Amino acid sequence: MHINIVSGKINLFFKKDFKKKFTIFLLKPILITALFLVDFFLLPETIVNDSISYVSFIKTPQTSQDNSVRANKSIGYKYTTATGLKFSTIETKIESRNIKLTVSPLFKTVKTVIIPDNISVALASGFNGFNKFLLILFNSIMLVSIVYVNLAKEITENARLNLIFFNLFIITVWICALILI
C-alpha cells in the first residue's frame, strides 16, 4: 500500500472527534502496561524447575578504530527453556542446564533465574534493563500526549498530525522491542 494512502486513512480516522479517539487510542497500550505491571509485581508468581534447551548470542555491530571493518560483538545471551520460556542476560553465560525460574502468571515473564548453589542471575529481559527504560519512557510520552491533547483549547492541523504519527512511531518501536528482546 502506498504511504500516502495509509497516512491519509490514519488522518481521516482521527480528524473527527480527535481528542476522544486519540485518548482512547493511547489508553489501550497504557492499560496493557498496567496489566503487565500488576502481573509482574502483584500477582503470585510460580516457581518452575526447568532446563535450558537453546542458547543464542545477542550481538551488536562494532566498528574497529583502525579500519572500517565491522565485526559483531557479543553483548549477551538469549535463552529458551524446555517449557518454552524465554529470557536474556547481559554478559553472564549460564553454564548449567538445570535452572529454577520464577515466572509471572499471565504473561509468563521470567522474573528471576536461579542456577544451582542458589545463585541468582541478573536478567536483561522482562521488566529489567532496557525494557524497563522503554516501558517508563514510552508510557510517559503517551501520558504527556494525552494530557496535552485534553488541556489544549485548540490543536492545529500540524500539531494533530505530529501527535498522531509520533505516538504511532513510539507504539511501533515499543512493540518491536518487546517482541525482539
DSSP string, 17-42: THHHHHHHHHHHHHHHHHHHHHHHHT
Name the grid cell of 92. 553472564
At residue 1, the pLDDT reads: 55
Residues 107-119: what's their mean pLDDT? Answer: 89
Distances (CA, A) of 98 to 57, 123, 173: 19, 17, 34
User: Has residue 26 got a pLDDT over 90?
Assistant: yes
Q: How confident is residue 16, by pLDDT bands cut at 50, 70 and 90?
A: confident
At residue 145, the pLDDT reads: 96
Q: Work out the percent of the chain whose per-residue pLDDT is above 70.
A: 93
Query: What's the mean pLDDT when you consider all of the chain?
Result: 87
CA–CA dist 102, 156 (Å, integer): 49
User: Has residue 65 got a pLDDT over 70?
Assistant: no
Residues 111-129: what's their mean pLDDT? Answer: 86
At residue 66, the pLDDT reads: 63
Q: Which residue has the cell 500516502?
A: 4
Other beta carbons within 10 angstroms of residue 90's beta carbon come to: 15
